[in-house]
Amino acid sequence: MVVLVAGHDTSSVLMTFMISHLAGRRRSSHPPIFRSFPASVTHMDPGIFEDPEKFDPWRFDGPAPPYSFVAFGGGQWLCAGIEFARVETLVTMHHLVSRFRWKLCCKENTFVRDPMPLPLHGLPIELEHIGVASSLGKSAC
C-alpha cells in the first residue's frame, strides 16, 4: 500500500510542478513528427530471436542486441515502474505456482496482437487451491 500511495503522491506532485512551470509558456512550433514504434513486437523479430512465436522465457537469459525488448521503453524513456512491475509479477507468480494447480480450459493457444498480445478467446482456467507455500504450514503474509 505504501508503494501505491507513494507512487500516486509523487506523480501528482511532479505533474503539479510541471503544469505550474509550463503555464503561460508558448510551445515552439516545429514540423510534426510521426513516431510509431511498435514496442510490443520488437522481441518478435526472427532476426533477433530464433522462433519468436514459441513461448520461451529463457531466450532473455543470454545477451541480446540493445533495444530488442522495449516493452518498458529504453534509455532516458525507461519506465519508472519497471522494477515495481517486475517484483509484482514475481510475487504474483510465486503465489500462483506455490498455492494453486491450474488447468487451461481452452485447448486453442491462439494470440492476437492488437497492439498488445492477448489470448484470442480469453484465458479461462480451472484453479485448485493446494495449500499454503510454507514449511511451517502458516501463511507468510
* Per-residue confidence (pLDDT) for residue 2, from 0 to 100: 43
Question: What's the pLDDT at 137?
Answer: 47
- pLDDT value of residue 69: 74
pLDDT computed for residue 10 by the predictor:
59
Distances (CA, A) of 84 to 4, 40, 114: 10, 19, 25
Single out the residue of 121, 89, 129 nearest to residue 105, CA to CA: 121
DSSP 122: B
Return the number of other C-beta atoms located less than 10 Å from residue 70's C-beta.
Answer: 19
Does the pTM exceed 0.75? no
CA torsion sign, 54 to 114 to 38 to 4?
negative
Look at residue 8 and tell me whether its pLDDT is greater than 70. Answer: no
pLDDT digits (tens, 9 = 90+) for 43-95: 777 888 888 878 787 887 888 777 777 777 777 778 888 899 889 988 988 88
- Is 106 annotated as belonging to a binding site? no
More confident residue, 18 or 51: 51
What are 92-140's pLDDT values in tens digits? 888 888 888 878 887 777 777 776 677 888 878 888 888 765 544 444 4
52's grid cell: 519468436
Q: Is the pLDDT of residue 19 over 80?
A: no
Query: Would you kindly state where each structural domain of the chain is located, as residue ranges?
Result: 1-129
